[in-house]
Amino acid sequence: MINAEEWNQIVSSFPITHVLQTWQWGSVKQRFGWEMIPNVWKDGQELWGAALVLKRKMPLPIFGNWGSLLYVPKGPLIKSWQDRALVEKGLQNLEKLAREEKAILVKIDPDVVYGRGEAGEDWVKNEPSGQRIDIASAYYNDACYGKQTVRTLRARGWTFSREQVQFRNTVVLNLELTEDELLRRMKQKTRYNIRLAERKGVQVREGNIDDLPMLYRLYAETSQRDGFLIRSEDYYLTAWQTFLSYRQSGLREDRNPGDLKNPFAQILIAEYAGEAVAALVLFIFRDKAWYMYGMSSDQHREKMPNYLLHWRAIQFLRQIGVREYDLWGAPDRFDESDAMYGVYRFKVGFGGETVQHIGAWDYVVSPWKYRLYHEILPKYLGFLRMQRRISS
Protein backbone atom coordinates (compact mmCIF):
# COMPACT_ATOMS: atom_id res chain seq x y z
CA MET A 1 0.00 0.00 0.00
CA ILE A 2 1.51 3.31 -1.08
CA ASN A 3 1.56 6.26 1.34
CA ALA A 4 1.39 10.03 0.85
CA GLU A 5 5.14 10.65 0.87
CA GLU A 6 5.87 7.82 -1.56
CA TRP A 7 3.10 8.95 -3.90
CA ASN A 8 4.25 12.57 -3.94
CA GLN A 9 7.83 11.46 -4.66
CA ILE A 10 6.49 9.59 -7.69
CA VAL A 11 4.36 12.52 -8.84
CA SER A 12 7.25 14.98 -8.47
CA SER A 13 9.51 12.83 -10.68
CA PHE A 14 7.62 13.48 -13.93
CA PRO A 15 8.65 16.27 -16.32
CA ILE A 16 5.03 17.46 -16.54
CA THR A 17 3.32 17.21 -13.18
CA HIS A 18 0.62 19.02 -11.23
CA VAL A 19 -0.46 19.75 -7.66
CA LEU A 20 -3.90 18.23 -8.40
CA GLN A 21 -2.19 14.86 -8.81
CA THR A 22 -0.77 14.96 -5.27
CA TRP A 23 -1.96 12.89 -2.34
CA GLN A 24 -3.15 15.99 -0.52
CA TRP A 25 -5.58 16.94 -3.27
CA GLY A 26 -6.93 13.40 -3.36
CA SER A 27 -7.44 13.46 0.41
CA VAL A 28 -9.44 16.69 0.11
CA LYS A 29 -11.69 15.15 -2.55
CA GLN A 30 -12.16 12.04 -0.37
CA ARG A 31 -13.82 14.25 2.23
CA PHE A 32 -16.46 15.19 -0.33
CA GLY A 33 -17.64 11.96 -1.89
CA TRP A 34 -14.73 10.82 -4.03
CA GLU A 35 -12.60 7.69 -3.66
CA MET A 36 -8.87 7.95 -4.37
CA ILE A 37 -7.29 5.27 -6.60
CA PRO A 38 -3.50 5.76 -7.06
CA ASN A 39 -2.06 4.02 -10.14
CA VAL A 40 1.67 3.46 -10.69
CA TRP A 41 2.83 2.11 -14.05
CA LYS A 42 6.24 0.49 -14.47
CA ASP A 43 8.17 -1.68 -16.90
CA GLY A 44 10.13 -3.81 -14.46
CA GLN A 45 11.67 -1.25 -12.11
CA GLU A 46 11.39 1.64 -14.57
CA LEU A 47 8.61 4.11 -13.78
CA TRP A 48 6.94 5.46 -16.92
CA GLY A 49 3.50 6.65 -15.78
CA ALA A 50 1.12 7.32 -12.92
CA ALA A 51 -2.41 8.56 -12.34
CA LEU A 52 -4.28 9.69 -9.25
CA VAL A 53 -7.78 8.56 -10.25
CA LEU A 54 -10.81 9.91 -8.40
CA LYS A 55 -13.95 7.78 -8.38
CA ARG A 56 -17.45 8.98 -7.55
CA LYS A 57 -20.62 6.89 -7.44
CA MET A 58 -23.68 8.39 -9.11
CA PRO A 59 -26.83 7.41 -7.16
CA LEU A 60 -30.23 8.41 -8.58
CA PRO A 61 -33.66 8.15 -6.92
CA ILE A 62 -35.03 6.32 -9.96
CA PHE A 63 -32.07 4.17 -10.95
CA GLY A 64 -30.32 3.65 -7.61
CA ASN A 65 -26.53 3.34 -7.86
CA TRP A 66 -26.44 3.28 -11.65
CA GLY A 67 -22.73 3.85 -12.19
CA SER A 68 -19.66 5.86 -11.30
CA LEU A 69 -17.39 8.49 -12.78
CA LEU A 70 -13.61 8.26 -12.93
CA TYR A 71 -11.64 11.49 -13.15
CA VAL A 72 -7.88 12.07 -13.39
CA PRO A 73 -7.41 15.77 -12.47
CA LYS A 74 -4.55 17.26 -14.49
CA GLY A 75 -3.33 13.78 -15.33
CA PRO A 76 -2.32 11.14 -16.15
CA LEU A 77 1.42 11.64 -15.76
CA ILE A 78 3.63 10.17 -18.48
CA LYS A 79 7.43 10.02 -18.60
CA SER A 80 7.40 11.42 -22.14
CA TRP A 81 4.30 12.64 -23.95
CA GLN A 82 6.35 12.60 -27.12
CA ASP A 83 6.57 8.80 -26.83
CA ARG A 84 3.33 7.71 -28.47
CA ALA A 85 3.73 4.11 -27.29
CA LEU A 86 3.83 5.22 -23.64
CA VAL A 87 0.81 7.47 -24.13
CA GLU A 88 -1.07 4.56 -25.71
CA LYS A 89 -0.19 2.30 -22.76
CA GLY A 90 -1.34 4.89 -20.24
CA LEU A 91 -4.66 5.37 -22.01
CA GLN A 92 -5.09 1.60 -22.32
CA ASN A 93 -4.58 1.21 -18.56
CA LEU A 94 -7.21 3.85 -17.81
CA GLU A 95 -9.68 2.31 -20.26
CA LYS A 96 -9.19 -1.07 -18.57
CA LEU A 97 -9.67 0.47 -15.12
CA ALA A 98 -12.89 2.15 -16.24
CA ARG A 99 -14.31 -1.17 -17.42
CA GLU A 100 -13.22 -2.95 -14.23
CA GLU A 101 -14.83 -0.26 -12.07
CA LYS A 102 -18.02 -0.41 -14.20
CA ALA A 103 -17.70 3.33 -14.74
CA ILE A 104 -19.81 5.40 -17.10
CA LEU A 105 -16.68 7.20 -18.27
CA VAL A 106 -13.14 8.13 -17.36
CA LYS A 107 -12.11 11.77 -17.83
CA ILE A 108 -8.55 13.07 -18.14
CA ASP A 109 -7.17 16.59 -18.56
CA PRO A 110 -3.36 16.42 -18.52
CA ASP A 111 -1.21 19.55 -18.65
CA VAL A 112 -0.14 18.75 -22.21
CA VAL A 113 0.61 21.87 -24.25
CA TYR A 114 -1.19 22.29 -27.55
CA GLY A 115 -0.16 25.83 -28.41
CA ARG A 116 1.14 29.11 -27.06
CA GLY A 117 -0.32 32.54 -27.67
CA GLU A 118 -3.94 33.37 -28.40
CA ALA A 119 -6.29 31.38 -30.62
CA GLY A 120 -9.92 30.97 -31.55
CA GLU A 121 -12.61 29.11 -29.68
CA ASP A 122 -12.67 25.71 -31.38
CA TRP A 123 -9.01 25.02 -32.12
CA VAL A 124 -8.71 21.72 -30.21
CA LYS A 125 -12.09 20.38 -31.25
CA ASN A 126 -11.71 21.10 -34.95
CA GLU A 127 -8.03 20.95 -35.90
CA PRO A 128 -7.52 17.18 -35.55
CA SER A 129 -10.54 16.42 -37.75
CA GLY A 130 -8.51 17.06 -40.89
CA GLN A 131 -9.56 20.66 -41.47
CA ARG A 132 -6.47 22.79 -40.85
CA ILE A 133 -7.42 25.90 -38.88
CA ASP A 134 -5.30 29.00 -39.25
CA ILE A 135 -4.42 30.23 -35.77
CA ALA A 136 -2.75 33.53 -36.48
CA SER A 137 -1.10 34.28 -33.16
CA ALA A 138 -0.49 30.78 -31.78
CA TYR A 139 2.72 28.88 -32.37
CA TYR A 140 3.63 25.25 -31.93
CA ASN A 141 7.39 24.86 -31.68
CA ASP A 142 7.20 22.73 -28.51
CA ALA A 143 3.60 21.60 -28.85
CA CYS A 144 3.86 18.97 -31.57
CA TYR A 145 3.31 16.27 -28.97
CA GLY A 146 0.07 17.98 -27.95
CA LYS A 147 -1.32 17.61 -31.45
CA GLN A 148 0.01 14.04 -31.59
CA THR A 149 -1.69 13.26 -28.26
CA VAL A 150 -5.01 14.60 -29.53
CA ARG A 151 -4.76 12.36 -32.59
CA THR A 152 -3.94 9.37 -30.36
CA LEU A 153 -6.93 10.09 -28.13
CA ARG A 154 -9.29 10.31 -31.10
CA ALA A 155 -7.89 7.14 -32.64
CA ARG A 156 -8.61 5.25 -29.40
CA GLY A 157 -12.19 6.48 -29.23
CA TRP A 158 -11.79 9.29 -26.69
CA THR A 159 -13.94 12.40 -27.20
CA PHE A 160 -13.33 16.04 -26.36
CA SER A 161 -15.34 16.48 -23.17
CA ARG A 162 -18.46 18.60 -22.96
CA GLU A 163 -17.51 19.16 -19.33
CA GLN A 164 -14.17 20.97 -19.02
CA VAL A 165 -13.64 20.73 -15.26
CA GLN A 166 -10.36 22.66 -15.08
CA PHE A 167 -9.25 25.64 -17.13
CA ARG A 168 -8.02 24.52 -20.54
CA ASN A 169 -5.88 27.62 -21.05
CA THR A 170 -3.77 29.61 -18.63
CA VAL A 171 -1.10 32.30 -18.24
CA VAL A 172 2.36 31.31 -16.99
CA LEU A 173 5.15 33.51 -15.61
CA ASN A 174 8.81 32.50 -15.83
CA LEU A 175 10.23 33.25 -12.37
CA GLU A 176 13.80 32.40 -13.35
CA LEU A 177 14.03 35.97 -14.65
CA THR A 178 15.36 38.71 -12.37
CA GLU A 179 12.94 41.13 -10.71
CA ASP A 180 14.07 43.87 -13.11
CA GLU A 181 13.42 41.61 -16.09
CA LEU A 182 9.99 40.67 -14.75
CA LEU A 183 9.09 44.33 -14.24
CA ARG A 184 10.23 45.21 -17.77
CA ARG A 185 8.00 42.49 -19.22
CA MET A 186 4.91 43.81 -17.46
CA LYS A 187 2.44 46.14 -19.12
CA GLN A 188 3.09 49.77 -18.24
CA LYS A 189 -0.32 49.99 -16.55
CA THR A 190 0.51 46.99 -14.34
CA ARG A 191 3.77 48.54 -13.15
CA TYR A 192 1.95 51.83 -12.51
CA ASN A 193 -0.77 50.14 -10.45
CA ILE A 194 1.79 48.27 -8.33
CA ARG A 195 3.43 51.59 -7.46
CA LEU A 196 0.02 53.21 -6.93
CA ALA A 197 -0.99 50.58 -4.36
CA GLU A 198 2.30 51.11 -2.53
CA ARG A 199 1.84 54.91 -2.52
CA LYS A 200 -1.74 54.60 -1.27
CA GLY A 201 -0.57 52.58 1.73
CA VAL A 202 -1.66 49.05 0.81
CA GLN A 203 0.25 46.48 2.86
CA VAL A 204 0.64 42.75 2.14
CA ARG A 205 1.11 40.17 4.88
CA GLU A 206 1.25 36.38 5.10
CA GLY A 207 -1.97 34.70 6.18
CA ASN A 208 -2.51 31.75 8.48
CA ILE A 209 -5.20 29.30 9.52
CA ASP A 210 -6.98 31.92 11.64
CA ASP A 211 -7.63 33.96 8.49
CA LEU A 212 -9.54 31.21 6.66
CA PRO A 213 -13.11 32.22 7.67
CA MET A 214 -12.36 35.79 6.57
CA LEU A 215 -10.95 34.49 3.27
CA TYR A 216 -14.15 32.58 2.60
CA ARG A 217 -16.26 35.68 3.31
CA LEU A 218 -14.15 37.63 0.81
CA TYR A 219 -14.47 34.78 -1.69
CA ALA A 220 -18.26 34.73 -1.31
CA GLU A 221 -18.30 38.50 -1.84
CA THR A 222 -16.18 38.10 -4.96
CA SER A 223 -18.45 35.37 -6.36
CA GLN A 224 -21.55 37.52 -5.92
CA ARG A 225 -19.91 40.53 -7.54
CA ASP A 226 -18.41 38.63 -10.48
CA GLY A 227 -21.27 36.17 -10.98
CA PHE A 228 -19.66 32.76 -10.50
CA LEU A 229 -20.70 29.86 -8.29
CA ILE A 230 -18.63 28.61 -5.37
CA ARG A 231 -18.80 25.57 -3.10
CA SER A 232 -19.58 25.40 0.59
CA GLU A 233 -17.40 27.02 3.24
CA ASP A 234 -16.52 23.55 4.57
CA TYR A 235 -15.07 22.56 1.19
CA TYR A 236 -12.71 25.51 0.91
CA LEU A 237 -11.66 25.49 4.55
CA THR A 238 -10.84 21.78 4.25
CA ALA A 239 -8.75 22.34 1.11
CA TRP A 240 -6.91 25.34 2.52
CA GLN A 241 -6.27 23.72 5.91
CA THR A 242 -5.00 20.52 4.28
CA PHE A 243 -2.38 22.32 2.21
CA LEU A 244 -1.51 24.87 4.91
CA SER A 245 -0.68 22.03 7.29
CA TYR A 246 2.26 21.07 5.02
CA ARG A 247 3.69 24.58 4.78
CA GLN A 248 6.37 24.15 7.43
CA SER A 249 7.70 20.88 5.96
CA GLY A 250 7.45 22.32 2.46
CA LEU A 251 9.68 25.24 3.39
CA ARG A 252 12.22 23.29 5.43
CA GLU A 253 15.64 24.94 5.37
CA ASP A 254 17.62 21.87 4.24
CA ARG A 255 15.85 21.52 0.91
CA ASN A 256 17.31 22.56 -2.44
CA PRO A 257 15.71 25.58 -4.17
CA GLY A 258 12.80 24.45 -6.31
CA ASP A 259 12.71 21.04 -4.59
CA LEU A 260 9.29 21.37 -2.96
CA LYS A 261 8.17 17.75 -2.91
CA ASN A 262 5.57 18.35 -0.18
CA PRO A 263 2.71 20.35 -1.71
CA PHE A 264 1.61 23.22 0.48
CA ALA A 265 -0.37 26.47 0.48
CA GLN A 266 0.73 30.05 1.01
CA ILE A 267 -1.79 32.78 1.81
CA LEU A 268 -1.11 36.46 1.13
CA ILE A 269 -3.49 39.19 2.28
CA ALA A 270 -3.57 42.81 1.11
CA GLU A 271 -4.75 45.26 3.76
CA TYR A 272 -5.60 48.94 3.78
CA ALA A 273 -5.78 50.73 7.13
CA GLY A 274 -5.83 47.33 8.83
CA GLU A 275 -8.76 46.04 6.75
CA ALA A 276 -8.37 43.01 4.46
CA VAL A 277 -9.26 44.14 0.94
CA ALA A 278 -7.84 41.29 -1.19
CA ALA A 279 -6.19 37.91 -0.76
CA LEU A 280 -4.87 34.94 -2.68
CA VAL A 281 -4.15 31.29 -1.97
CA LEU A 282 -1.14 29.76 -3.71
CA PHE A 283 -0.65 26.02 -4.07
CA ILE A 284 3.05 25.15 -4.40
CA PHE A 285 4.60 21.86 -5.52
CA ARG A 286 8.08 20.98 -6.74
CA ASP A 287 9.25 24.04 -8.73
CA LYS A 288 5.85 25.46 -9.64
CA ALA A 289 3.09 27.53 -8.02
CA TRP A 290 -0.56 27.94 -8.92
CA TYR A 291 -2.79 30.94 -8.18
CA MET A 292 -5.63 28.67 -7.10
CA TYR A 293 -7.97 31.11 -5.36
CA GLY A 294 -8.29 34.88 -5.40
CA MET A 295 -10.73 37.06 -3.52
CA SER A 296 -11.28 40.77 -3.00
CA SER A 297 -13.57 43.23 -1.27
CA ASP A 298 -15.81 45.81 -2.91
CA GLN A 299 -14.04 48.39 -0.75
CA HIS A 300 -10.90 50.32 -1.78
CA ARG A 301 -10.68 48.77 -5.24
CA GLU A 302 -9.40 52.10 -6.57
CA LYS A 303 -6.21 51.53 -4.56
CA MET A 304 -5.33 48.56 -6.80
CA PRO A 305 -4.51 46.05 -4.03
CA ASN A 306 -4.57 43.03 -6.36
CA TYR A 307 -1.63 44.35 -8.38
CA LEU A 308 0.61 44.70 -5.34
CA LEU A 309 -0.67 41.37 -3.99
CA HIS A 310 0.53 39.50 -7.08
CA TRP A 311 3.84 41.32 -7.14
CA ARG A 312 4.46 40.27 -3.53
CA ALA A 313 3.46 36.72 -4.50
CA ILE A 314 6.02 36.76 -7.31
CA GLN A 315 8.72 38.01 -4.94
CA PHE A 316 7.89 35.35 -2.35
CA LEU A 317 7.89 32.54 -4.91
CA ARG A 318 11.24 33.58 -6.35
CA GLN A 319 12.67 33.67 -2.84
CA ILE A 320 11.77 30.02 -2.16
CA GLY A 321 13.05 28.80 -5.53
CA VAL A 322 9.84 28.44 -7.54
CA ARG A 323 10.57 28.66 -11.27
CA GLU A 324 7.08 28.92 -12.77
CA TYR A 325 3.93 30.73 -11.65
CA ASP A 326 0.68 29.50 -13.20
CA LEU A 327 -1.99 32.20 -12.91
CA TRP A 328 -4.63 29.48 -13.30
CA GLY A 329 -7.06 30.26 -16.02
CA ALA A 330 -7.49 32.01 -19.36
CA PRO A 331 -10.50 32.25 -21.69
CA ASP A 332 -11.56 29.71 -24.28
CA ARG A 333 -12.24 32.66 -26.60
CA PHE A 334 -9.66 35.42 -26.60
CA ASP A 335 -12.03 38.33 -27.03
CA GLU A 336 -14.45 40.39 -24.95
CA SER A 337 -17.32 37.95 -25.54
CA ASP A 338 -15.70 35.57 -23.03
CA ALA A 339 -16.64 36.22 -19.40
CA MET A 340 -13.03 35.63 -18.34
CA TYR A 341 -11.55 38.20 -20.69
CA GLY A 342 -11.28 41.01 -18.12
CA VAL A 343 -9.48 38.77 -15.61
CA TYR A 344 -7.29 37.51 -18.45
CA ARG A 345 -6.17 41.04 -19.37
CA PHE A 346 -5.22 41.55 -15.72
CA LYS A 347 -3.13 38.36 -15.74
CA VAL A 348 -1.28 38.98 -19.01
CA GLY A 349 -0.45 42.45 -17.72
CA PHE A 350 2.18 40.77 -15.53
CA GLY A 351 4.08 39.70 -18.64
CA GLY A 352 3.25 36.01 -18.68
CA GLU A 353 2.76 33.72 -21.64
CA THR A 354 -0.61 32.36 -22.69
CA VAL A 355 -0.47 28.56 -22.78
CA GLN A 356 -3.13 26.34 -24.34
CA HIS A 357 -3.58 22.72 -23.27
CA ILE A 358 -5.42 19.85 -24.91
CA GLY A 359 -8.26 20.07 -22.37
CA ALA A 360 -10.43 17.34 -20.89
CA TRP A 361 -11.18 14.13 -22.80
CA ASP A 362 -13.69 11.37 -22.02
CA TYR A 363 -13.50 7.65 -22.66
CA VAL A 364 -17.10 6.44 -22.61
CA VAL A 365 -17.76 2.92 -21.32
CA SER A 366 -21.57 3.12 -21.36
CA PRO A 367 -22.91 5.40 -24.15
CA TRP A 368 -26.54 5.39 -22.94
CA LYS A 369 -25.51 6.25 -19.36
CA TYR A 370 -23.18 8.92 -20.72
CA ARG A 371 -26.12 10.47 -22.57
CA LEU A 372 -28.22 10.20 -19.43
CA TYR A 373 -25.47 11.92 -17.44
CA HIS A 374 -25.05 14.81 -19.88
CA GLU A 375 -28.54 15.34 -21.30
CA ILE A 376 -31.31 13.81 -19.19
CA LEU A 377 -29.90 14.05 -15.66
CA PRO A 378 -29.36 17.87 -15.76
CA LYS A 379 -32.98 18.35 -16.90
CA TYR A 380 -34.24 16.02 -14.18
CA LEU A 381 -32.26 17.82 -11.48
CA GLY A 382 -33.45 21.17 -12.81
CA PHE A 383 -37.05 19.95 -12.58
CA LEU A 384 -36.49 18.86 -8.95
CA ARG A 385 -35.01 22.26 -8.07
CA MET A 386 -38.01 24.01 -9.66
CA GLN A 387 -40.43 21.79 -7.72
CA ARG A 388 -38.66 22.63 -4.46
CA ARG A 389 -38.95 26.36 -5.19
CA ILE A 390 -42.66 26.01 -5.95
CA SER A 391 -43.35 23.98 -2.80
CA SER A 392 -41.44 26.43 -0.61
For residue 385, pLDDT beyond 60: no
pLDDT, averaged across the chain: 88
Query: What count of residues does the chain have?
Result: 392
Burial letters for 194-228: b for 16+ Cβ neighbours within 10 Å, e otherwise?
A: bebbbeeebebeebeeebbeebbebbeebeeeeee
CB 62 within 8 A of CB 384: no
- 64: confidence class by pLDDT, cuts 50, 70, 90: low
Assess whether pLDDT exceeds 80 at residue 138: no
SS3 80: coil
Residue 90 has pLDDT above 60, yes or no: yes
Q: Which pLDDT score is estimated for 61? A: 57
Q: CA geometry: angle at 293 spanning 353 and 117, to 5°?
A: 15
Question: Which has more pLDDT, 144 or 246?
Answer: 246
Confidence of residue 136 (pLDDT cuts 50, 70, 90): very low
Q: pLDDT, tens digit, for every residue of 328-353? A: 999 888 888 888 899 999 999 999 99
Residue pLDDT, tens place only, 109-135:
999 999 888 864 444 554 444 333 333
Q: Which domains does the chain have, with CATH numbers?
A: 4-166+358-391 (3.40.630.30), 171-356 (3.40.630.30)
Percent of the chain scored above 70 by pLDDT?
Answer: 84
Kindly state the greatest CA–CA separation across the chain. Answer: 62
Please state, in angstroms and rounded to a whole number, the distance separating the CA atoms of residues 376 and 278: 40
pLDDT tens digits, one per residue of 227-250: 888 999 999 999 999 999 988 665
CA-closest candidate to residue 24, choices 4, 3, 49:
4
Lowest mean pLDDT segment, chosen from 104-113, 189-198, 256-265, 272-281: 256-265
pLDDT, one tens digit per residue, over 18-36 is: 999 999 999 999 999 999 9
Most confident of 129-133, 250-254, 259-263, 296-300: 296-300
Q: For 297-370, list the strands marked E by DSSP.
A: 324-326, 353-357, 361-364
